[in-house]
């Protein structure tokens, strides 16, 4: 199948280095300490953060560090076919990956004896749910006012029809080509998350990896904008 036409346009009309439209909003769950909705094209994720609060299970307490918990789940209506069940292997792995990514950017050492819970729910899945979840979690953590080193952001890139493509949608993702998901701390310029599957030669991987990193930086800008916009809103409300 042709995923990139001769004019260099993809199935949904994007260029190879073009991202889908990003819509983000914070403070969407009223009872949560921090929450956010993050949309990337048709992928939509909602995140809620509770904490820092007292550790519920004392045996899990870590010395001098906050305990970060994460639960990723996909709504049953999020995909075309309703076969995904809760607690399958994929979501277990994603919960682990997202938790460890967020742990790396939260200043856990300034919040000892406390627990931070991150709940993530995929409302619509159209490829790149992993990245969308990390971005949503970052927004929600920032909304909850949890001290962080940096805003961890993530973006994916793939390789189809011998073209590196930024931000794959579901059709492109399930085409069987490579899929590289990168999570970075943009200010520190460090890579925390890196996942890849399918086969890629070394040089190709480097270009795809570079493209995904560029995508991350673009998302980081957008995330920052959203947070600044939110802060402005809060300021107006206080003044009023």
Partner 1 sequence: MEGRLANMWRLTVNESKFVETALQSELRVDGRGLYDYRKLTIKFGKEYGSSEVQLGHTHVMGFVTAQLVQPYKDRPNEGSLSIFTEFSPMADPSFEPGRPGESAVELGRIIDRGLRESRAVDTESLCVLAGKKVWSVRIDLHILDNGGNLVDAANIAALAALMTFRRPDCTVGGESNQEVIIHSLEEREPVPLIIHHLPIAFTFGFFNKGNIVVMDPTYIEEEVMCGRMTVTVNANGDICAIQKPGEEGVNQSVILHCLRLASSRAAATTKIIREEVEAYNREKSLQKVKRHPTLAKPEVSGPIVVVKEGHKMSEDEAIAAEISREYVERLNLSSVELKSSKEQEAVAASPGNFKGGPSNWDPYTEAMDVDSLKASLASRGVSVTKSTIKKKANDSGNVQKEVTGDLEMKDTAETTKHKSGEMTLKDAVKPKKKRKNKSS
Peptide bond into 52 cis (omega under 30): yes
Q: Which of 65, 191, 214, 224 binds partner 1 (CB under 8 A)?
A: 191
The CA-based diameter of the chain, rounded to the nearest angstrom, is 60
Cβ closest to partner 1, residue 14 vs residue 106 = 106
Phi, psi angle pair for 128, to nearest 5°: 70, 30
Please give the structure tokens belonging to residue 203: 């040089």
**Smallest separation (angstroms) from partner 1 to the CB of 209:** 7
Cβ-contact 137, 151 below 8 angstroms: no
Q: Residue 66 gets which letter from DSSP?
A: -
Rounded CA gap, 173 and 158, in Å? 8
**Smallest separation (angstroms) from partner 1 to the CB of 178:** 9
Interface mask toward partner 1 for 143-182; x: CB under 8 A: -------------------------------------x--
Residues numbered 59-78 forming contacts with partner 1, rule: CB under 8 A: 59-60, 62, 69-71
- List residues near partner 1 by CB under 8 A: 57, 59-60, 62, 69-71, 89-90, 92-93, 95-104, 180, 183-185, 188-202, 205-206, 209, 213
């Amino acid at each position: 199948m042709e995923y990139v036409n001769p004019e260099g346009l993809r199935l949904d009309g994007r260029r190879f280095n073009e991202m889908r439209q990003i819509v983000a909003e914070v403070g969407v769950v009223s009872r949560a300490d921090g929450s956010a909705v993050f949309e990337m094209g048709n992928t939509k994720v909602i995140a809620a953060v509770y904490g820092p609060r007292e550790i519920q299970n004392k045996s899990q307490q870590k010395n001098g560090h906050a305990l970060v918990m994460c639960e990723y789940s996909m709504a049953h209506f999020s995909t075309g076919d309703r076969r995904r069940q809760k607690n399958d292997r994929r979501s277990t792995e994603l919960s682990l990956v997202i938790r460890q990514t967020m742990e790396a950017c939260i200043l856990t050492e300034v919040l000892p004896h406390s627990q931070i819970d991150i709940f993530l729910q995929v409302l619509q899945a159209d490829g790149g749910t992993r990245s969308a979840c990390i971005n949503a979690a970052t927004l929600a953590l920032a909304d909850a006012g949890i001290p962080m080193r940096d805003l961890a952001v993530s973006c994916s890139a793939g390789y189809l029809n011998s073209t590196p493509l930024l931000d794959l949608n579901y059709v492109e993702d399930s085409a069987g080509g490579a899929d590289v998901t990168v999570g970075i701390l943009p200010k520190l310029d460090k890579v925390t998350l890196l996942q890849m599957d399918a086969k890629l030669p070394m040089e190709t991987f480097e270009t795809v990896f570079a493209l995904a990193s560029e995508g991350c930086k673009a998302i980081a800008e957008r995330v920052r904008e959203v947070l600044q916009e939110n802060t402005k809103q809060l300021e107006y409300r206080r003044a009023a």
